[in-house]
Amino acid sequence: MSTVNLTTENDIAFITIDNPPINATSHSVRQGIVDAFDEIEGDSSIKVVILICAGKTFIAGADVSEFGQPPMAPILPDVIKRLEATTKPVIAAIHGHALGGGLEIALGCHYRIAESGAKLGLPEVNLGLIPGAGGTVRLPRLVPVHDAIAMITGGKPVSADKANAIGLIDAIAHGPLRDAAQDFARTIINRPRPLELRRCPPVDAPDDHQWDEIIAGVGKKARGQIAPVIAAQAIRIGIEQDTAAGLVHEREKFVELRDSDQSKALRHIFFAERSVAKLPELDGAAPNPINEVGVIGGGIMGAGIATASLLAGFKATIIERNEEACTHGRATVKKHLSGSLKRGLITQDRFNSLLASLSTSTDYADLGTADLVVEAVFEDMTVKHDVFGKLSKHCKPDAVLASNTSYLDINEIAANCTHPQRVIGLHFFSPAHIMKLLEVVRTDQANATSLATAFAFARKLGKIAVPCGVCDGFIGNRIMSAYRKHCEYMLEDGALPHQIDAAMVEFGFPMGLFAMQDMAGLEISWATRKRLAPFRDPAERYVALGDYLCEMDRFGKKNGLGWYRYDENGKALPDPDVDALVIAESDKKGITRRDFDAKEIISVILDAMRSEGDKILAEGIAMGPDAIDVVMVNGYGFPRHKGGPMFMTQK
Ligand code: NAD
């Protein structure tokens, strides 16, 4: 079976691409398209060409198996030049996703029609690249420049509605796509073929000053990632110079970026995210069907988990301690869903039906039909035992019971349950309905069905599920505790909180460790430290600065004072009082302070992450270094374009 098939119906030719699963622009597809156009060109009975795809999607990207191989002719830019130069008008008929090279092919066509559910985008920057087959040159000749810049430098696809509104497509298909494309063909069949996009003027053109602002804005947003800025510059060159020069420049930059460290790092994390949940022991294990989800506790995490469950299409029941807490939990879920409504992610009807799928109760008996329950009550073993005792009593024997605990021993929780083989950990990140990461914790007794059910649940929630073993803090919190300790050592040895934070931000973290602690509030970890104080090894170095802050009622951003002082707009300002406290502590301990530059600060942090990561691997807590990178990038702000701490420090 060929991947490109040419058929004709009267005076219309159909080029059908059939290269499952995503109709990638593999060599056979590229060659097939060129061959089809050679044939079409010689057939005078053909008046219009429709390029359409079989299967679930239009062309949704490049063939990953060709990555790293020498390019094989015909390369995509030449294929697109060939198709756009055809004397007959070509219509791209789009369903599913038109992404990357797929959208570039569609831009080479003279018309575009898409199903209403289609998504169109140029996501190359997500892999550290820019479009390499004319995207930066053709798109701003079809849609307003600011839309082209947003699509190319942001990498996010747009909906068919948006595409229609900005002129990226000519029509939305109502009814079957093939028929709609054929109807559309009839409307243009007698018109002269439109000019190729690369011969058209840009839709609009910013002036020099505007360009400087645009490129500076893209750079700020990219926080150290180079591809978005290079993409914006390529768009500018494609507009300001002639298109031939623009295309040559774009291709050169594409090839250069393909070999860059950032692109290698981004590709590493892209593939790691897609393989990290594949546990060999789950091969062939069938998950239990899930319809109803129970959530114990409607606080910060419980309400977020309930929201995520509703958005994924499950019925959700929150169990709380009293009616007041039930009302509060429901109100929080409603607030989250209102956010989705406001951002246009759900319609009013969907909002209403999602809220109707939520129940709250104080009676555990209402979980009798739940298929999976996530516990998110206070972080206290006695409370957890009490809750899991009730779940053991009231839930179906095969309902999967999960704890969202951050630090407690889930093996101990499981040991007190009936059917402990269905007890696991599902460690969500806050806000749980937004954060993509989910650590799936395998207890010693967990069976394959429970784990398979947990992963199926995670998939439905749209989460990146990372399997991990039971230990204090699992993968992410454990690594964070380790590097936090070393940051605190640096404070006593000579660094100041804002210097460490500045180094982290410059490296690419969205915020530094101390600003983050201020944001979360300092009192929770203070309470934990006080609780654990009697068990602390007296020989281990202990930094008490965080305790001193709390003793001075400096609990972080919410009361205006923490590691920083906050102005009336909530902006963090380095506080001389904190600097003095830090310096006095070094004096008290007899430590001679020394300077730390940003490079050394980052190297201390990376070494701490690496060495804890190695321990986690040696103990079998993480399946491999990729799992650690996925956790740190998706849950702890590690810059994605650096690939994760294990990737960066690989020997
Ligand atoms: P929270 O204090 O906001 O919410 C806890 C809720 O549990 C409260 O609404 C409380 O009324 C309810 N509750 C307590 N005992 C109960 C019982 N016996 N039955 C029913 N409801 C009960 O706490 P949170 O931040 O949502 O944390 C919950 C759990 O999630 C903890 O184990 C925590 O370690 C973990 N966690 C928290 C975060 C975070 O960022 N907050 C992140 C990951 C995991």
pLDDT tens-digit readout, 284-333: 899 999 999 999 999 999 999 999 999 999 999 999 999 999 999 999 99
Helix (H, G, I), strand (E, B) or coil at 427: strand
User: What burial class does residue 540 get, using C-beta atoms within 10 Å of its C-beta: 0-12 exposed, 13-18 middle, 19+ buried?
Assistant: exposed
Q: What is the pLDDT of residue 648?
A: 97
Instruction: Over range 423-435, report the average pLDDT.
Output: 97
Q: Tell me the pLDDT tens digit for each residue of 114-165.
A: 999 999 999 999 999 999 999 999 999 999 999 999 999 999 999 999 999 9
Q: Are 279 and 467 in contact (CB under 8 A)?
A: yes
Which residue reads 């956790």 in tokens? 631
Confidence of residue 396 (pLDDT cuts 50, 70, 90): very high
Q: What's the CA-to-centroid distance between 575 and ligand 1, angstroms? A: 33
Q: Are 449 and 286 in contact (CB under 8 A)?
A: yes
Ligand 1 pocket test target in 295, 296, 301 with most atoms within 8 Å of CB: 301
Q: What is the pLDDT of residue 413?
A: 96
Sign of torsion, CA 458 462 463 467? positive
Q: Are 386 and 380 in contact (CB under 8 A)?
A: no
Q: Would you say residue 227 has pLDDT above 90?
A: yes
Nearest atom in ligand 1 to 520's CA? 40
Q: Choosing from 84, 124, 439, 492, which is the catalytic residue?
A: 124
Rounded to whole angstroms, the Cα distance separating 396 from 413 reads 18
Confidence of residue 211 (pLDDT cuts 50, 70, 90): very high
Q: Would you say residue 247 has pLDDT above 80?
A: yes
Torsion of CA 489, 490, 494, 498, to 10 degrees: -120
Dump the DSSP string for 590-634.
TPPP----HHHHHHHHHHHHHHHHHHHHHTTSBSSHHHHHHHHHH
Instruction: Over range 435-459, report the average pLDDT.
Output: 96
Rounded to whole angstroms, the Cα distance separating 116 from 172 reads 6
Which residue reads 């747009």 in tokens? 158
Q: Would you say residue 168 has pLDDT above 80?
A: yes
CB-side neighbour CA atoms (13 Å) of 450: 26
Q: Would you say residue 651 has pLDDT above 80?
A: no
User: What burial class does residue 594 get, using C-beta atoms within 10 Å of its C-beta: 0-12 exposed, 13-18 middle, 19+ buried?
Assistant: exposed
Torsion of CA 61, 108, 94, 434, to 10 degrees: 50
Confidence of residue 232 (pLDDT cuts 50, 70, 90): very high
Nearest atom in ligand 1 to 322's CA? 11
Dig out the tokens for 261 from the structure.
Answer: 């460290």
Which residues touch 154 (CB under 8 Å, ≥6 apart)? 125, 228
Confidence of residue 574 (pLDDT cuts 50, 70, 90): very high
Q: What's the CA-to-centroid distance between 432 and ligand 1, angstroms? A: 12
Rounded to whole angstroms, the Cα distance separating 30 from 24 reads 10
Q: What is the pLDDT of residue 288?
A: 96
Nearest CA to ligand 1 atom 40: 430
Among this protein's residues, is 124 annotated catalytic?
A: yes
Q: What is the pLDDT of residue 448?
A: 95
Q: Would you say residue 374 has pLDDT above 90?
A: yes
Instruction: Over range 630-634, report the average pLDDT.
Output: 98
Q: Is 299 in the pocket of ligand 1 (CB under 6 A)?
A: yes
Q: Is 311 in the pocket of ligand 1 (CB under 6 A)?
A: no
Nearest atom in ligand 1 to 379's CA? 32
Rounded to whole angstroms, the Cα distance separating 207 from 205 reads 6
**Closest by alpha carbon to 416, among 403, 431, 430?**
403
Nearest atom in ligand 1 to 319's CA? 20
Instruction: Over range 595-621, report the average pLDDT.
Output: 98
Rounded to whole angstroms, the Cα distance separating 173 from 177 reads 6
Instruction: Over range 535-542, report the average pLDDT.
Output: 93
Q: Would you say residue 69 has pLDDT above 90?
A: no
Which residue reads 């970890």 in tokens? 525
Tell me what the pLDDT averaged over the chain comes to: 96
Among this protein's residues, is 196 annotated catalytic?
A: no
**Closest by alpha carbon to 369, among 395, 351, 406?**
395
For strand 572-574 and strand 564-566, is the pairing parallel, antiparallel, or unpaired?
A: antiparallel
Rounded to whole angstroms, the Cα distance separating 167 from 206 reads 19
Q: Tell me the pLDDT tens digit for each residue of 341-371.
A: 999 999 999 999 999 999 999 999 999 999 9
Output the pTM of the full model.
0.92
Q: Choosing from 9, 41, 84, 104, which is the catalytic residue?
A: 104
Q: Is 425 in the pocket of ligand 1 (CB under 6 A)?
A: no
Q: What is the pLDDT of residue 386?
A: 97
Q: Is 387 in the pocket of ligand 1 (CB under 6 A)?
A: yes
Q: What is the pLDDT of residue 35?
A: 97
Confidence of residue 65 (pLDDT cuts 50, 70, 90): confident
Instruction: Over range 397-418, report the average pLDDT.
Output: 95
Dig out the tokens for 579 from the structure.
Answer: 């600097």
In b/e form, how buried is each residue of 495-509, taking b as 16+ CB within 10 angstroms? bbbbbbbbbbbebbb
Instruction: Over range 597-619, report the average pLDDT.
Output: 98
Q: Would you say residue 280 has pLDDT above 80?
A: yes
Q: Is 378 in the pocket of ligand 1 (CB under 6 A)?
A: yes
Q: Would you say residue 1 has pLDDT above 80?
A: no
Q: What is the pLDDT of residue 189?
A: 92
Each as own residue / partner, the long-range contacts of residues 19-24 (CB below 8 Å, 24 or more positions apart, any chain) are 20/54, 20/55, 21/55, 21/56, 22/56, 22/57, 22/59, 22/60, 22/61, 22/97, 23/53, 23/54, 23/55, 23/57, 23/58, 23/59, 23/60, 23/102, 24/59, 24/60, 24/61, 24/62, 24/63, 24/64
Q: Are 155 and 121 in contact (CB under 8 A)?
A: yes
Q: What is the pLDDT of residue 295?
A: 98
Q: What is the pLDDT of residue 67?
A: 78
Nearest 5 degrees, angle CA 503-CA 506-CA 507?
Answer: 85
